[in-house]
Amino acid sequence: MITLDRLTKSFGGSAQSAVDGLSLTINTGEICVLIGPSGCGKTTTMRMINRMVEPDSGRIEVGGRDVTKMDPVELRRSIGYVIQQVGLFPHMTLAENVATVPKMLGWDAARIAKRVDELLAMVHMDPSIYRDRFPRELSGGQKQRIGVARALAADPPVMLMDEPFGAIDPITRARLQDEFLRILRELGKTIVFVTHDIDEAIRMGSRIAILRNGKVVQYDTPERILAHPADAFVEAFVGGDRSLKRLALLTAGPYVESGTPAAGAPHLPATTPLRDALSAMLDAGTNEAGIVDAECRPLGRVTLQTIQQAAAVARSS
């Protein structure tokens, strides 16, 4: 879906390139996370995809088309874009904000109204309640939902997300991450996602590109980066708790065993990451947790021994 071929970009005559011969291939339906220390070129790389920054050299293809030969305005209307500051128009209602690109594309009013209501419902904001409200009436998390709905309005195949959850409190951020993972995977979008948070990268990414000095140091799945860091820089960047991070990639459901958990054990959804299950068990002072399905029906339990075995398998993989 997206091919970046030997991209280079410098600013202000600097001898150090912000992006230096960078090449990546992002397949259809993948969430590619760009991460690295400040100044590594992650945001510049993402902004070159929709030509908000023009490359000095190299080639960018989206859906088989060379974007440097496309009209920049047309290109940007075909790519969803979500930023940390959201950028909602304060004088417009939420419905008008979501409808921005469809209006530019000349959609008729009935089609726009239907699409707006679909998207508000998709991001869990009841259209009958929120359609005519203004951005000033929303919390930060609600504004971010509207920003994502607006980016999805014209049903773009590609979305760029620049630290979209960076300004949101940790509890709301985790909930939004889960919701948007569900939405984006259901819709089959191809996503380029910039973050500075390695835990967010592991949670959100199909594949992660770790950048340093404008170059790709390692580009692989979260599992392989945690299990086999390419060098000492990557190992240090992902942190010393790689075993715990790998547990965050495994959900409790496949590790359920029969039995009724002891009194006082926490009860958790089958979708709970094993790392979170371990944390809940430690908080409760137990060595097991009850696991329930989406309707809160008991499935069995997960034990500390099972989690230890899962961690051992992850270390050896």
Q: Give the pLDDT confidence of 285-299 residue by residue, as tens digits.
A: 999 999 999 888 999
Q: Is the pLDDT of residue 217 over 90?
A: yes
Tell which residue, 189, 230, 186, 178, has the closest CA to residue 208.
Answer: 230
pLDDT band at 317 (very low <50, low <70, confident <90, very high): low
Q: Is the pLDDT of residue 185 over 70?
A: yes
Q: Which residues contact 176 (CB under 8 A, 6 or more apart)?
A: 141, 144, 145, 165, 168
Alpha-carbon gap, residue 16 to 32, rounded angstroms: 25
> What is residue 99's predicted lDDT score, i.e. its pLDDT?
93
> What is residue 177's predicted lDDT score, i.e. its pLDDT?
84
Distance of CA 211 to the CA centre of its chain: 17
> At 9, is the secondary structure helix, strand, or coil?
strand
Q: Is the pLDDT of residue 132 over 80?
A: yes
pLDDT exceeding 90 applies to what percent of the chain? 54
> What is residue 148's predicted lDDT score, i.e. its pLDDT?
87
Over residues 164-188, the mean pLDDT reads: 80
**Pairing status of strand 57-62 against strand 288-292:** unpaired
Q: Which residues contact 251 (CB under 8 A, 6 or more apart)?
A: 270, 271, 272, 273, 274
Alpha-carbon gap, residue 261 to 255, rounded angstroms: 14
Q: Would the CA dihedral through 314, 176, 40, 68 be positive or negative?
A: positive
pLDDT band at 28 (very low <50, low <70, confident <90, very high): very high
66: left (phi over 0), alpha (psi -120 to 50) or beta: beta
- Residue ranges of alpha helices (H) inside the chain are 42-49, 72-77, 94-98, 100-104, 109-122, 127-130, 140-152, 170-187, 198-204, 222-227, 232-238, 242-247, 274-284, 304-316
Q: Is the pLDDT of residue 27 over 70?
A: yes
66 contacts 59 by C-beta, under 8 angstroms: yes
> What is residue 141's predicted lDDT score, i.e. its pLDDT?
85
Q: What is the mean pLDDT of the chain?
A: 89
Helix (H) / strand (E) containing 301: strand 298-303
One DSSP character per residue, 136-178 reads GGS-HHHHHHHHHHHHHTT--SEEEEESTTTTS-HHHHHHHHH
Per-residue pLDDT reduced to its tens digit, 55-89: 999 999 998 889 988 888 888 888 988 887 767 89
Highest mean pLDDT among 170-174, 220-224, 239-243: 220-224
Per-residue pLDDT reduced to its tens digit, 253-277: 999 999 888 889 999 999 888 988 9
What DSSP designation does 230 have?
A: S
Per-residue pLDDT reduced to its tens digit, 138-155: 988 888 889 888 988 888
| CA distances from residue 265 to 166, 193, 273 in whole angstroms, order as listed | 33, 37, 16
pTM for this prediction: 0.82
